[in-house]
Structure 1
């Protein structure tokens, strides 16, 4: 099932609750929330208090993407704030297997993200334990970047490996430069959750934006 997850990194922060309600009305499936710490990535966004403040704006899944060092220190606050899913970066986790199981012990689906330069091999010992794999199609840290076409073979290889393991249920999410032009490419490669920030929130007709990504 194809799902669209608008990233509120591209939303108008002055009216964040209204922007989230707009995404739901447009037909979005999840709300993607990028948490950046100005250490793991060169940007600072927001934390658990903001997530908690906008939780009442929608019943949609809050898909929290932790682009932070020591992400495990944020898990309790994010769960308390209303996160429905947590994704951590393999590059930020000294003990990735342990971190994944910490998420599962909290009762949430566990996701792992890979930066463009990171090989799939780092997932070898956690593929049986995760619910979602996020392939970054830009270098993380800023919105509005251009899609990196070289990530398409990586997505195809990942989908092939998951199918071979008997895990077609694992979501492959892509984040970065997703538009109506790049969406068909990543879908054909095997992705089923598309994160769209600038394309969605900058579109004059957000319902049409979702329809275009799903077309």
Structure 2
């Protein structure tokens, strides 16, 4: 199980210390949630902070765009040379074109869907993407409870991947802890994103190991 550490919930004044903790923890990715106050109610941070993080760590930067209009931010993140950019199918614009643009620059491209979004809405993206992110909470806030019914979609995605010989990673984000990760493992999930579960503990490395199993 790949583990992405989400810094959405951390004290931003302690950001560098928390990133150093992630580096020592064995987590695979640093998950960066960009939120615009429109697509979701909250505002997190922008490309400037991500660029600064990129200059200070070798962690794999997994950027999740919870924004209404991702086009400009995608271009800026390409310039920042992040490792992965995930777009929401519910966002505005030509999402397929943006995914192709991301991949043309040697950056992994992901597609995300909210808990209530039907899986057929991302069907055209599946042959193209490196990752599918199923939100397991309503996006925009940390610390929410896991929505178990989303596992039907991860199970379908895993079966679809096998049948069609595709290679995307199935990731989930929201409400992840030592119990919900077991459901994920049973339902085709390859990667989990955790924030509160990791950073609300003094022993992040132990928590990462619990998720990896």
Structure 1 residues 71 and 83: alpha-carbon distance in aligned structure 2, compared to 1, 3 A threshold: same
Q: Return the match for 2:169 from 168, 171, 191.
A: 171
Partner of 1:203: 201
Does the 8 A contact of 1:32 with 1:63 survive in 2?
yes
Question: Would you say 1:100 and 2:84 are equivalent positions?
Answer: no
Gaps of 5+ in 2: none
Does the 8 A contact of 1:3 with 1:29 survive in 2?
yes
C-alpha distance in structure 1 between counterparts of 2:83 and 2:168, whole Å: 16
Does the 8 A contact of 2:40 with 2:140 survive in 1?
yes
CA displacement, residues 51-72 of structure 1 (integer Å, 9 cap, x when unaligned): 1122233211000000001112
Q: How many residues align?
A: 213
Root mean square deviation, CA, Å: 1.1
Partner of 1:69: 68
Question: Would you say 1:149 and 2:112 are equivalent positions?
Answer: no
SS in 2 for 1:39: coil
How far is the alpha carbon of 1:104 from its aligned partner? 1.3
Gaps of 5+ in 1: none
Does the 8 A contact of 1:31 with 1:62 survive in 2?
yes
C-alpha distance in structure 2 between counterparts of 1:85 and 1:125, whole Å: 19
SS in 2 for 1:91: coil
SS in 1 for 2:124: coil
Question: Would you say 1:33 and 2:32 are equivalent positions?
Answer: yes
How far is the alpha carbon of 1:18 from its aligned partner? 1.4
Q: Return the match for 1:212 from 185, 204, 210.
A: 210
Does the 8 A contact of 2:111 with 2:131 survive in 1?
yes
Does the 8 A contact of 2:78 with 2:102 survive in 1?
no
SS in 2 for 1:92: coil
SS in 1 for 2:120: helix
Partner of 1:110: 109
> If the length of structure 1 is used for normalisation, what is the TM-score?
0.96
SS in 2 for 1:199: helix
C-alpha distance in structure 2 between counterparts of 1:80 and 1:15, whole Å: 26
> If the length of structure 2 is used for normalisation, what is the TM-score?
0.96
